[in-house]
Amino acid sequence: MLDALIRIAKSAGDVILDLYARQDVGVSLKGDGSPVTLADAAAEAVILRALAEQFPDIPVISEEAAEAGELPDVGDRFFLVDPLDGTKEFISRNGEFTVNIALVEDGQPCVGVVYAPALGVIYAGAGGAARTSVLDADGAFGPWTPLEAGRPSAAGLRVVASRSHMGAETADYLARFDVSDLLSAGSSLKLCKVASGEADLYPRLGRTMAWDIAAGDAVLRAAGGMVRCLEGQPFSYRLSRVPGDSAFANPWFVASGAFDPASLERATA
């Protein structure tokens, strides 16, 4: 399945790049005020068609379809798709947008692919093994490099935070730790930076949706890291986790490398 999802993500990325080259990418606003482009819909169509052909028995929850009210019944096994995560990054043309495809089983993301087409890099994880690759001159993925989430050094935590959503709550949370570096990144690339060992911690104290992070979460877990709710319990993708919000809304969370952030907080409090 992982190889198939890699191919599907690459196909969606090709469609996105075709539209990325245009001057007018067809920006409009959704009901919640967030932007959407022609590339969101085009990439979603590619992914949904391919998943239906190759995995017809597995329901799919995809961002644009879900927000249009197209919500199939899901059991304990389903795909979560964000066809273009980081639409603001796409519009600003900084390259930090991704295609996210994840398989969720029993509330856990067990297979995930995150592809950044403008950067030419892909991250994939399943079965306790994570890897990354970059596109070569022929437009194919080159040799795969294993990913391993790291541990913080004595110098302090390397923290990656949202380029678009760094708020006061996040700053207050980080004040509990010894932070040596604060990195900024868009989309689910933040989770992948933790998975690759480039960052130790990614706190997200704000609203996100399941399709925003499931693929990156799968990569991180396969690399030996973890996503936890802010209170410390393991993160789950079962429905209706935030009272009064959408069934697919996420609670606040903290993603970390191969360590428990709470242990460092206690040591530095």
What's the CA gap between 182 and 209, in Å, rounded? 24
- Rounded Cα–Cα distance for residues 229 and 63 (Å): 22
Query: Which of 158, 127, 100 is CA-nearest to residue 221?
Result: 127
Distance CA 49, CA 47 (A): 5
**DSSP label at residue 1:** -
CA angle 235, 144, 89 (to 5 degrees): 60
Q: Is 87 annotated as a binding residue?
A: yes
CA 50 remoteness from chain centre: 20
86 is in an annotated binding site: yes
Burial of 21 per CB tally in 10 Å (0-12, 13-18, 19+):
exposed
268 marked as binding residue = no
Place of tokens 């994880």: 125
Instruction: Report yes or no: 264 and 156 within 8 Å, Cβ to Cβ.
Output: no
Q: Tokens 């995150």 identify what position?
A: 114
Rounded Cα distance, 190 and 237, in Å: 19
Q: Is 85 annotated as a binding residue?
A: yes
**HSE-up of residue 55 (Cα within 13 Å, Cβ side):** 17
- 141 CB neighbour count, 10 Å cutoff: 18
CA distance 48 to 27: 22
Residue ranges for the binding site for substrate? Answer: 63, 84-87, 212
Residue ranges for the binding site for Mg(2+)? Answer: 63, 82, 84-85, 212
Residue ranges for the binding site? Answer: 63, 82, 84-87, 212
